[in-house]
A = this chain, B = another copy of it.
């Protein structure tokens, strides 16, 4: 029997007396007997915190793949970046952690200003003027972008490069069941989107990825042109770390940017909570999904921040809202602001550069290995796909024995065949290098992979 309840038996008694009641059951007396639980919940009794900790110790030891025990070369939208102690400490400040959505700005300036700073950073990294205060993750941010495109164009066709992460595409397909959007996925050739292979007329959105999920840096000018020509919104799903050095979505001409913000201070976390980045052009501001914080003043003319443009939101606009999102991922947004503040202008560039250096250093060695072939000849940033002489999942399993998480199996990621890969997908491995990987670790990877292939 463990809980966090303050009431003593005396408290309960005197409170019931105040209410003119005899027992706690009286409070539930108006619930029809027919549906009342007769014998409580079918759950074991409570355990003390240390007892529960012992159960969880079993779980954590069964998680062999933790980055603290296995060198991580897996990416695909989830990256093993440095998160310094200072960022953990600040983002764990209980004022940030245990606050609700800032409904009363007078006592929520901390969260509001931190979101404002986050928004500024998202705008800068996306090259687009209007950010929002966060969405669940990149995949659902893409869905919001599609909804925005529908709102802007009145059209239903969503033309999506299959260089967009397979999970994001799958999520888009799922939600299209409700919105009725037609999702058209464009195949890749040699790692690059073959826009010419599909009919983009009447498209609401043209969606490209930068770099694409297989790591390739596509030239997005053609896609932009297509979007312009067809009056579609141009949506870019970009790696925000790349934005430290590569062209921004705005520079490529995007109307909407979406991205995954996990790389900014959030640990791998088995996939969540992550951070859906979103920004758009001013033309779309009234269609913005989710919350946005704006600057204003208080009654003494001091600068103050507040959530604004609330008339778009579900609590006011109800079924006509731009989105249904309410609770989003504020703490991750605040964390991203802190992590980016820690990295600073040149730290982010350095991280991006080191990722690219490490990835290319590994790539150059792998190309020399027997049984390894590059999937494409295109330029890439910090991850790349290789075609192995064996199924990727087998290689991953055998490299795991040497405490190396070799990467991601592209067929596992795609859940089967996928228009992004035109060779035997089972043998394709997606390999990622972050700034945390040392030369020794990379060299070790090469040796372990060589072994795995010859075993």
Contacts and interface: CB of A to CB of B under 8 A. Distances in A.
A49 B85 contact: yes
Contacts of A49: 84-85
B85 A94 contact: no
Contacts of A89: 94
A85 B82 CA distance: 25
A89 B431 CA distance: 38
B50 A436 contact: yes
Nearest to A82: B50
Contacts of A94: 89
Copies of this chain: 2
A184 to B, nearest CB: 44
Interface in A78-137: 82, 84-85, 89, 94
A368 to B, nearest CB: 29
A85 B50 CA distance: 10
A271 to B, nearest CB: 24
Nearest to A57: B68
Contacts of A85: 49
A294 to B, nearest CB: 30
Interface in A312-361: none
Contacts of A82: 50
Nearest to A97: B89
Contacts of A50: 82, 436
A228 B50 CA distance: 47
A89 B97 CA distance: 12
A199 to B, nearest CB: 50
Interface in A397-455: 436
A82 B82 CA distance: 31
A7 to B, nearest CB: 15
Nearest to A84: B49
A50 B85 CA distance: 10
A421 B436 CA distance: 55
Nearest to A93: B94
A54 B121 CA distance: 31
Nearest to A85: B49
A89 B95 CA distance: 13
A94 B91 CA distance: 13
A49 B436 CA distance: 12
Nearest to A436: B50
Interface in A30-81: 49-50
A183 to B, nearest CB: 42
A384 to B, nearest CB: 25
A205 B84 CA distance: 52
Nearest to A50: B82
A436 B49 CA distance: 12
A225 B270 CA distance: 66
A49 B84 CA distance: 8
A82 B50 CA distance: 8
Nearest to A86: B49
Contacts of A84: 49
A89 B84 CA distance: 18
A84 B50 CA distance: 8
Nearest to A435: B50
A88 to B, nearest CB: 11
Interface string A172-189: 000000000000000000
A51 to B, nearest CB: 10
**3 tightest Cβ-Cβ pairs between the two chains A and B:** A50-B82, A49-B84, A89-B94
5 contacts: A49-B84, A49-B85, A50-B82, A50-B436, A89-B94
